[in-house]
Chains A and B, each alone.
Chain A
Amino acid sequence: MSIYIYILVMAGVTYVIRMLPFTLFRQRITSRFVRSLLYYLPYAVLSAMTFPAIFYSTGDTVTAAVGTAVALVLAYLKLPLIVVALAAAVAAYVTGAFL
């Protein structure tokens, strides 16, 4: 099968998912519960995506754990996104060099 059919399906599904609620939904939600749900959901999604997957992200649990610890500390100190992300990679790399 042509790779372009795969890419068309991938891109099509992903776009429709993004477009439909963003374009069609016009009302203001009044339910406090639903509003709370929408407020917490992004944090919940990102957390579920991160754990435990982050510990497998470098192919070695020890280097990944050190990278995670460094990222947690720097994120706690409210450092910029890019600093936290790259410092995690550097920490994982340096740890790997010593193992």
Chain B
Amino acid sequence: MKEFLKGLSHGVPIALGYLSVSFGFGIVAVGLGISVLDAVLISVSNLTSAGQAAGVEIIAAAGGLVEMLLTQLVINIRYALMGFSLSQRLDDSFTTPKRLLLSFGITDEVFAVASAQRVLSARYMAGLITLPIIGWSLGTLLGATAGSLLPEDIASAMGIVLYGMFLAIIVPPARKEKSVLAVVLIAAACSVIFKYLFTFVSGGFAIILSAIIAAVIGAALFPVKEEDEQ
């Protein structure tokens, strides 16, 4: 119970962030002609920002299912890497059914917070993902129903919330460790180069390639000491 409550408390800021980000998603989804209930269903079953944003575009454009499948695969493949990384920290309480269930809650922010734990217990992970799932679904419902009442300039300013959250995750460790700073700067530089020079590479692939290039350089130049990862 103590572990669950600890996870729950660590999930509060993530849930609040999700509430505002998914509010924006709700607005976008309804704007594309998707019903309020379907928008909420998408958030409950997907729990992912970039993947859902791309997904509703494909639905609105009546795109193909293969296009949908490949887009989700490319945008969300980072979760496989995160799951792989987290699998190194799981304690014995993580039985197979618990892994099957709790893996659903792996997101960028959940991963970032979970990574800061030495050892991950199933109870902690269950607590950590509970409020973010509720926040993500509730925010979508609010955005989809009340979003149209929001003035245009407030709605567009909300578009930066998700990225602000990403910066809040990467800046403190980059401040602490030169190696993380180097990796973050290389990844950003690669991403900018793909965006403006190699425009034939799609957005999802550009992110994966940029991240892998930066992480490989980081791992080659600054191999982590044992205590760094603990």
**Which residues of the partner chain B approach A92 to less than 8 Å between Cβ atoms?**
157, 160
On chain A, the number of residues with a Cβ less than 8 Å from chain B's Cβ atoms is 75
Instruction: Give the shortest distance, in Å, between A23 (CB) and chain B (any CB).
Output: 4
**Which residues of the partner chain B approach A60 to less than 8 Å between Cβ atoms?**
156
In chain B between 151 and 169, which residues have their CB closer than 8 angstroms to a CB of chain A?
Answer: 153-154, 156-169
Q: 5 closest Cβ contacts across the A-B interface?
A: A88-B164, A22-B83, A75-B171, A36-B219, A93-B157
Instruction: Give the shortest distance, in Å, between B101 (CB) and chain A (any CB).
Output: 9
Task: Give A14 to B41 CA distance when docked, in angstroms.
Answer: 14
**Which residues of the partner chain B approach A81 to less than 8 Å between Cβ atoms?**
13-14, 17, 109, 165, 168-169
**Chain B residues at the A interface, C-beta cutoff of 8 Å:** 13-14, 16-17, 20-21, 34, 38, 41-42, 45-48, 50-52, 55, 58-59, 62, 65, 68-69, 72-73, 76-88, 96, 99-100, 102-104, 106, 108-109, 111-112, 115, 153-154, 156-175, 179-180, 183-188, 190-192, 195-196, 206-208, 210-212, 214-216, 218-220, 222-224, 228-229
Given known A45-B78, A47-B188, A57-B163, contact A82–B211 (CB-CB < 8 A): no
In the assembled complex, 9 residue pairs joining A and B whose CB atoms fall closer than 8 Å, in A order, are A7-B41, A14-B48, A22-B87, A22-B106, A40-B214, A41-B215, A58-B157, A58-B160, A75-B167
CB nearest to A6 among chain B residues: B59
Given known A10-B46, A11-B45, A72-B167, contact A67–B184 (CB-CB < 8 A): no
B170 engages A36 (CB within 8 Å): no
Task: Give A11 to B72 CA distance when docked, in angstroms.
Answer: 9
